[in-house]
Amino acid sequence: QKEVEQNSGPLSVPEGAIASLNCTYSDRGSQSFFWYRQYSGKSPELIMSIYSNGDKEDGRFTAQLNKASQYVSLLIRDSQPSDSATYLCAVKRSARQLTFGSGTQLTVLP
Amino acid sequence: EAGVVQSPRYKIIEKKQPVAFWCNPISGHNTLYWYRQNLGQGPELLIRYENEEAVDDSQLPKDRFSAERLKGVDSTLKIQPAELGDSAVYLCASSLRESRAEAFFGQGTRLTVV
């Protein structure tokens, strides 16, 4: 079992829709959770971090964390073509290594 | 504030040749990561430094890869000799040491071994 699992996609949504990206992790001691966006040929860019159960909103992005289910998700409201990218989920336990999933490729169709 | 700086951006070498990558982290960041990313995959950790100490290098292929972080600032990752399978993007990231600290990436070095 991989430490961090994501559906590889591709996930396609129409412009203006809600895109939902999911991630599960295996280490129950994980404490910090991050979402990165990676455009083709570019390096990962941090877009959200979440540490407590529940929702965290930042503009059109909402991160959701459920530690009991070992599940973290990212919702993108009013999706735009510019949101088309690979979204990477990353998990960290204490001040230890940052482990990434394989990413979900999102395409927003105009 | 300057971000994480990596060089070179691109490198093409023949197999069996050596290659080195350089990373300058964000000022004040004690933690430095080297990741390798293959096409269509997420970044995979090669080595993590806390200041000048390598605290997690279990995924570093030590027969051909080496890394150093002298004085706890800049870091160099070396491959000698390179193999065709080493073709990938090598990413450097840095963060503060705290558990909630966010990590920021450099632009990466795209290595092609021919």
DSSP string, A36-65: EEE-TTS--EEEEEE-SSEEEEETTEEEEE
SS3 letters for B37-69?
A: ECCCCCCEEEEEEECCEEEECCCCCCCCEEEEC
Structure confidence by residue, pLDDT tens digits, A11-39: 999 999 999 999 999 999 999 999 999 99
Whether residue A95 has pLDDT greater than 80: no
Which tokens in the block code for residue A50? 């979440």
- The burial of B1, by beta-carbon neighbours within 10 Å (0-12 exposed, 13-18 middle, 19 or more buried), is given as exposed
**CB contact, 8 Å: A23 with chain B?**
no
Q: Which chain B residues touch A90 with a CB distance below 8 Å?
A: 103
Tell if the CB–CB gap between A103 and B106 is shorter than 8 Å: no
Cβ(B114)–Cβ(B14) below 8 Å: yes
Structure confidence by residue, pLDDT tens digits, B4-40: 999 999 999 999 999 999 999 999 999 999 999 999 9
Whether residue B1 has pLDDT greater than 70: no
Locus of tokens 């940052």: A98
Tell if the CB–CB gap between A102 and B42 is shorter than 8 Å: yes
Structure confidence by residue, pLDDT tens digits, A76-94: 999 999 999 999 999 998 7
Which of A56, A46, A39 lies closest to A100, judged by CA?
A: A46
Distance separating alpha carbons of residues A102 and B50, to the nearest angstrom: 25
Q: Which chain B residues touch A93 with a CB distance below 8 Å?
A: 99
Structure confidence by residue, pLDDT tens digits, B51-84: 999 999 989 999 999 999 988 899 999 999 999 9
pLDDT, average across residues A38-67 = 97
Which tokens in the block code for residue A102? 């394989």
